[in-house]
Amino acid sequence: ETGVTQTPRHLVMGMTNKKSLKCEQHLGHNAMYWYKQSAKKPLELMFVYSLEERVENNSVPSRFSPECPNSSHLFLHLHTLQPEDSALYLCASSPSASYLTGELFFGEGSRLTVL
Partner 1 sequence: AQKITQTQPGMFVQEKEAVTLDCTYDTSDPSYGLFWYKQPSSGEMIFLIYQGSYDQQNATEGRYSLNFQKARKSANLVISASQLGDSAMYFCAMREGLTGANSKLTFGKGITLSVRP
Q: Does 92 bind partner 1 (CB under 8 A)?
A: yes
Residues 6+ apart with CB under 8 A from 68: 32, 49, 52, 53, 54, 74, 75
Is the Cβ of residue 82 or residue 96 nearer to partner 1 in the bound state? 96
- Using CA atoms, how far residue 77 sits from 3, 56, 104, in Å, is 22, 17, 22
Does the protein bind partner 1 through residue 11 (CB under 8 A)? no
Question: CB under 8 A: which stretch of 11-19, 21-29, 65-73, 94-102 binds partner 1?
Answer: 94-102
Q: x/- string (CB under 8 A) for partner 1, residues 39-58?
A: -xxxx-x--x-x----xx--
